[in-house]
Chains A and B, each alone.
Chain A
């Protein structure tokens, strides 16, 4: 039986994703491959991918409810839709998040800058999008934190997100930022995205409509994954 070549996924436009070597971010210097990547035509392994929906715990969507007490900080709802670049919803897809606490410290053994840990905050969560691609989780607004990249370097407040989509090619790990952060201008990770309009797509929007009165502020963050080619690529017979 011959397998038809599946339709692949369209590449990201130039400037949409950061170059792997981005000198302002020092850790890229020894980790970015020197050789140009070899283009791999999408075949079955690339157009399929893990469809992970299991093992979501009852408080995985609410990072403020994972301990006996409530964490310190501004309670927020982060929500949005996962779409492909044709505007189609990506339903039933796993979204994993992790973040620092309100003081900007991660509950991680290797984060030891002198900001307080919060015994009521671990900072990891996961949700699965609904049939329309919507996701939502409740957390506290993370603090900014210093890092050793350059003199007086501070990361703007951010939440890390990991998404699978429905194919290996759609896999995306990104960071969500908050509007009008004064730390953007000095952050080489945020600014590693060459296209300034693409960079703005990393910034969530404050959404007054979605706030929960007398409970939580709300930020909207839509995530757009790659869309699919319309027709399969025809390969000449060898």
Chain B
């Protein structure tokens, strides 16, 4: 089979012209039951904020289902978008408002898939957000369990208040986030 794929290229510094949506960071509308805010800072190998990046998220709904035909249990038809997108500000900050995804029922702990795009990234990098109140499920998660503890910790968000989670993304160096080849 020939794989004549179109190569990836960087988003460059001006991605906001094409990729910014006013409400991109709202996976669910403000005030939705169970809404949580996940915020963080994107930093580079010198610890400096990356102020021209974009963070995108993709996740299941609260029942662990996807409104997508390739979910073998069938698309839910709920209209749950499951997708969030937030450009980083000059301080490297991003945030999304979402709900906690349910377990998929396949042995994985609840998680959100994350794409990071930025000037200086010739291809996207991918990571995952796991939840701090899921210690048992996290311990059994195939990905987390395959990682040394201090590396796995980079994938677990920290609770900073009621319905508030923090998930920093370090592209390089000390405390480098675990990135995934998908």
Q: With A28-B122, A33-B176, A51-B68 as given contacts, are A169 and B8 in contact (CB-CB < 8 Å)?
A: no
State how many angstroms separate the Cβ of B105 from the closest Cβ of chain A.
5
Contact pick for A31, options B12, B44, B73, B181, CB 8 Å:
B44
Establish whether residues A173 and B9, one from each chain, have CB atoms under 8 Å apart when the complex forms: yes
Which positions 127-179 of chain A face chain B at CB distance < 8 Å? 160, 162, 166-169, 171-175
- Do A20 and B123 touch across chains, with their CB atoms under 8 A apart? yes
Question: With A31-B118, A168-B58, A189-B10 given, is the CB distance from A47 to B5 under 8 Å?
Answer: no
Among A29, A107, A122, the one with the most B-chain Cβ atoms within 10 Å of its Cβ is A29
Measured in the bound complex, the distance between the Cα atoms of B124 and A162 in whole Å is 11
Is there a chain B Cβ closer than 8 Å to A39's Cβ?
Answer: yes
Interface SS of chain A: loop
Contacting pair B72 A225 (CB below 8 A)? no
Given contacts A20-B121, A30-B46, A34-B45, A160 and B6 within 8 Å (CB-CB): no
Q: List 20 A-B contacts (CB under 8 A).
A: A3-B104, A10-B1, A18-B9, A37-B126, A44-B60, A45-B104, A48-B66, A51-B67, A52-B81, A98-B17, A106-B14, A106-B17, A160-B12, A160-B18, A168-B115, A201-B7, A202-B6, A222-B6, A224-B5, A225-B5
Chain A residues packing against B (C-beta within 8 Å): 1-6, 10-13, 16-20, 22, 25, 27-35, 37-52, 55, 85-86, 96-99, 106-108, 110-111, 122-126, 160, 162, 166-169, 171-175, 189-190, 192-193, 198-199, 201-202, 222-227
